[in-house]
Structure 1
C-alpha cells in the first residue's frame, strides 16, 4: 500500500502520507520520511485523531470528518478510516487545502477497507 500513498502524496503535492492503526502502529507509508519520523508521526496521528473523536463525542458534535493542524511550516491533515485506522498527510503551507481534503476522502472511500486493520481483539492466555 506504500506505493498508493506515495502516488497520492505526489498527486496532491503533499510531502508525506501514512496510514496508521488506531493504536498508533504504522500500516503504510509514502516512504519519503525517515523510519523513526514515520513511527513518531504514526503515534501523533493516532493520538490526535483519538483526541478529536473524544472531544466531538463529549460535545455532541457527531463524527469527526477531518482534523487539520496548521503549523508555521505546513499542515497535518488527519482522516479516520473506519474505527480502526486513520490517514495522515503532511503538506506545505501553500497547499490546496480543499483538494487535499477531497482527495483524502476519495482515497479512503476507494481503499479504506484495505488500509483499515479493524478492531484488534485481546486474547487471553490459556488458563486465565
Structure 2
C-alpha cells in the first residue's frame, strides 16, 4: 500500500493563485517528483505535470549555449498556448515552481508573485539531488 504524499506546502502555492487569471501551481524536483500542488489541481494531474515540466526545464537548460554560453544559468521558461501560459522558474537547488494561467493574465504580476514566493520560502523549496542509496558492489 502506498502512503499518500503530504501536501504540506500546498497552501503556500495557493498564494501565487491570488493573481487574477492564474489556474494551478505545482512545486517539483529536478527529477520530476511532485513536491506540492495548489488546492485546485488533483494529485494525479499534478504528478503528470511535474514529470513533464522537469523535462521542459532540462531542455531549456540544455539550450543555454543558444544564449551565448553553455554555462549561462537557467532562470525561467515561459510556454505559450492558445488559451494560456505555463511559467516555470527556479525555486532553489533542484526545485522548480510552475504556474499555469489563462491568456489574459498579467504576466509581470504572476512572475513577480512567483519570485516573491521563492524568496519567502527559501530553503523550504530546496530539493537537493538524491544521494546514491545503493549498497556497495
TM-score by length of 1: 0.90
Alignment of 1:60 with 2:74, yes or no, is no
Correspondence for 2:113: 103
Q: Which runs of 5+ in 1 are unaligned?
A: none
Which is helix-richer, 1 or 2?
1
Please say if residues 94 and 129 of structure 2, whose CA atoms lie closer than 8 Å, have aligned partners that are also in contact: yes
Please say if residues 57 and 63 of structure 1, whose CA atoms lie closer than 8 Å, have aligned partners that are also in contact: no
Separation of aligned partners in 1, 2:129 and 2:43? 25
Q: What stretches of structure 1 move > 3 A for 4+ residues in a row? A: none
Q: Which runs of 5+ in 2 are unaligned?
A: 1-8
Q: What is the Cα deviation at residue 60 of structure 1? A: 0.8
Correspondence for 1:93: 103
Correspondence for 1:50: 58
The 5-angstrom pairing of residues 73-84 of structure 1 reads 73-84=83-94
The 5-angstrom pairing of residues 108-119 of structure 1 reads 108-119=118-129
Please say if residues 20 and 87 of structure 1, whose CA atoms lie closer than 8 Å, have aligned partners that are also in contact: yes
Q: What is the Cα deviation at residue 70 of structure 1? A: 0.3
Separation of aligned partners in 1, 2:61 and 2:83? 25
Q: What is the Cα deviation at residue 91 of structure 1? A: 0.5
Separation of aligned partners in 1, 2:14 and 2:120? 16
